[in-house]
Structure 1
Amino acid sequence: MKKIILLCVLFFGMQAVQSQDLKWHTDVKEAISIGNKENKPLMMFFTGSDWCGWCIRLQKEVLLTPEFAKWAAENVILVELDYPRRTPQTAEIKKQNGELQQAFGIQGFPTIHFANGSDKEGKVNFEGLGNTGYVAGGPVAWLAVANEILKKK
């Protein structure tokens, strides 16, 4: 019985470590560069991390799960574009996020856009693949929607 408990602790511990290994980029130009090198699209998460209830729910139900961590590592470059009310941000990040909110026409949170990006001579361009937001049903339901969008890649 002790061996089974120990194995369960090790298994779930490994899953927690795996989900912590995800790198959420905040600099979109850096993310574009990595995405182009790895031939992966960007998953741009527009969120109000410290005030948006649906954003927090999406994080808990999907984005912090082992299923999502495994999928994300294989399929996308993660970009968090945050619009907090209480958490301080640098002026550069606020400016970048404001421009991207306008460019993508974001009117509500959470919104997730999948896109291929390019940065030529300091000008950033995106080829949109699709977007989604909160999807009820946990990681399985959300990943099904994301996989449909990524088929267009």
Structure 2
Amino acid sequence: MKRIVLALLVMISISTQAQELKWHTNIKEAIEVSNKEKKPMMMFFTGSDWCGWCIRLQKEVLLTPEFKKWAKASVVLVELDYPRRTAQAPEIKKQNEELQQVFQIQGFPTVFFSNVVKEKDGRLNFKALGKTGYVAGGPEAWLAEANGILKAK
């Protein structure tokens, strides 16, 4: 009996860890989730198929268990991709280009933290919390930087 319970606990633990994070690509969906969950958005501006620093940030931080645990508790994830070789839906490409201009993104990777406030006239207003990019030192260093930005809100 103890073996069965232990096996079940191990399987539950593995399946929980294996669950992937939800990265939104549609900003409107992300805003709804952000407001519903009362979490800021973490917008990851990336060149997924050409930007070496973006790929390095993914491998060293965004795909780690430490980041996944932090992200689930702290933010709504939004990926805003600017690929060169990978096809992208026209509406997503247009949305991403507009957001790049709105947030004045000059280089990649840029990670922008923001809340969205609904104004009295119904318009949505992004309230910037801060931004970062690649931070050397692995997930601990990057998460320390991100937590500093979020605490300042």
User: Structure 1 length as normaliser, TM-score?
Assistant: 0.86
Cα 1:124–1:19, aligned 2, differ >3 Å: closer, same or farther? farther
Give structure 1 stretches of 5+ with no counterpart: 1-6
Once residues 39 and 84 of structure 2 are traced to their aligned partners in structure 1, the CA distance between those partners, rounded to angstroms, is 31
Once residues 52 and 20 of structure 1 are traced to their aligned partners in structure 2, the CA distance between those partners, rounded to angstroms, is 26
1:46 aligns to 2:45 (yes or no)? yes
Once residues 133 and 18 of structure 2 are traced to their aligned partners in structure 1, the CA distance between those partners, rounded to angstroms, is 20
Report deviation, 1:117: 1.5
Equivalent residue for 1:147? 147
Once residues 51 and 84 of structure 1 are traced to their aligned partners in structure 2, the CA distance between those partners, rounded to angstroms, is 7
Once residues 123 and 88 of structure 2 are traced to their aligned partners in structure 1, the CA distance between those partners, rounded to angstroms, is 23
Cα 1:46–1:145, aligned 2, differ >3 Å: closer, same or farther? same
Equivalent residue for 1:96? 95
Once residues 37 and 87 of structure 1 are traced to their aligned partners in structure 2, the CA distance between those partners, rounded to angstroms, is 32
Cα 1:122–1:86, aligned 2, differ >3 Å: closer, same or farther? farther
Once residues 67 and 123 of structure 1 are traced to their aligned partners in structure 2, the CA distance between those partners, rounded to angstroms, is 36
Per-residue displacement from partner, 1:33-73 (whole Å, max 9, x unpaired)? Answer: 10111110000000000000000000000000000000000
Report deviation, 1:122: 7.5
Q: How does 1:75-114 map to 2 (within 5 A)?
A: 75-114=74-113
Structure 2 residue matching 1:127: 3-state secondary structure: strand
Equivalent residue for 1:4? none
Letter in 2 for 1:50: D
Once residues 29 and 102 of structure 1 are traced to their aligned partners in structure 2, the CA distance between those partners, rounded to angstroms, is 17
Once residues 86 and 92 of structure 2 are traced to their aligned partners in structure 1, the CA distance between those partners, rounded to angstroms, is 12
Structure 1 residue matching 2:134: 3-state secondary structure: coil
Structure 1 residue matching 2:111: 3-state secondary structure: strand
Q: Quick check: 1:32–1:119 contact (8 Å CA) kept in 2?
A: no
Larger Rg: 2
Once residues 74 and 42 of structure 2 are traced to their aligned partners in structure 1, the CA distance between those partners, rounded to angstroms, is 9
Q: Quick check: 1:19–1:65 contact (8 Å CA) kept in 2?
A: no
Once residues 38 and 25 of structure 1 are traced to their aligned partners in structure 2, the CA distance between those partners, rounded to angstroms, is 14
Q: Among the aligned pairs, what percent are the same residue?
A: 69
Equivalent residue for 2:127? 127
Report deviation, 1:18: 2.6
C-alpha root-mean-square deviation of aligned residues, in Å? Answer: 2.0
Cα 1:82–1:63, aligned 2, differ >3 Å: closer, same or farther? same
